[in-house]
Chain A
Amino acid sequence: MHGRIRTWGPGALVLLPTVLLLGYFVYGLIAWTFNTSLTARHTARKGPVDYVGFENYANLFGEERFVNSLKNLGVLTVAFIVGTLIFGLLWALLLEKGVPGESIFRSVFLFPMAVSMIASGVVWSWLLNPSQGEDARGLNRLFSILHLNFLENPWWTAGSRWTTMMSIALPAVWQLSGYIMALFLAGFRGIPAELREAARVDGASEFKLYRYVLFPQLSPIALSALIILGHMSLKLFDLIYAITGPNQFRTEVPAVYMWNTLLRSDQAKAAGIAIVLLAVVAVLVIPYVAYTVRQEADE
């Protein structure tokens, strides 16, 4: 036993600082936030405070503004994931057989990923200007120049929840489709050439080749993509902050609402929103982390 500890002991020792750091700064602080969410700390004042149980949560879910932000988040997430997957997969499909100038296309599709969401938000807030007609600006102006006036629309400033949040999803799709393309492209290129050959020899049509041979091989990548996009969308903050400003009921999501609540120093409520957000992310991510770790343990 002594000998075994001597072999693995140093390894555990290397990881100890990380475990302690993350133990405090991730798990400890989450517990702290949760604790705050159970109190009546509705001001910035310090000192002792009453515990009110889950009252803050009950209030949140009974409040129109919070429910609105959750609905916005749901719509945004669907629009963002569907849009990004469609573009990402389409681009990967167009590129995967190899076209002249492939590396140029790849680089251009991927470059928005290197730009901060604040920078792209500054640009998109300008592109998504709601003015129309004579005074049209941004994309609306471009539509009128191209004689596509029917496309002019008020973007996120008017209309249904769907059109509003789709306008917010558009810049996010622009920014991240290239990432999904890169994931799928790596997936396509990782499939052994023999598989394609075999399918062709068997007389499979191009459609059947993709449908029954190639796509099934990509399902693990599609799952990763779904998780990545899902948790990014749930946390989306910078882009909304830059495009609409933080104080917009129409586009508010929990991550933004938490910030607004904090500005009014309502710590307990802000903590409650943060914990709800964490719970939503955890529902998505914990099964995935467990699955990944178990799968790798099997290998």
Chain B
Amino acid sequence: MASSTTITVEVDDVSYTDDVEPRLLLVQYLRERLGKTGTLIGCDTTNCGACTVHLDGVSVKSCTMFAVQADGHRVTTIEGLAEDGKLAPLQQAFHECHALQCGYCTPGMIMQSASLLAENPHPSEQEIRDGLEGNLCRCTGYQNIVAAVRSVADGTVSSNAGEAETAGVA
């Protein structure tokens, strides 16, 4: 077993200091050491994006970073997105647009969408699709995910939790 390294990482507004093996992936650190199981693992090859989190506000795939690389940085996961118990607009939008079914890709998809909108607040449909290229969903066929991101960009997502007019229904 390799020797450990001490790291200090701020995750969802809480600072953690831990001894970790250098080979420990950031996603394993989040899930296994911090219990942040909202961030999920879907592949081993950086293709599926289920593990997407923000590192200092920018999306990264946490299966492709070592925990030691996050030392001194700020990590935001899906569990830290809602503020004061109120869903973030993208979370609300995914709900309202039926942009999730099994939910497994959802944490990564929402984190990537947030990063996409931070970079480009008014993307076209094609820009949304291109911006989500690194996140796979097997359930939705993407149309409602695109609609959810667009509803946040357009400001049409409801500000209240609960039932809202549904998008994308014939």
Partners in one complex: no
Tell me the A residues contacting B by CB distance below 8 Å: none
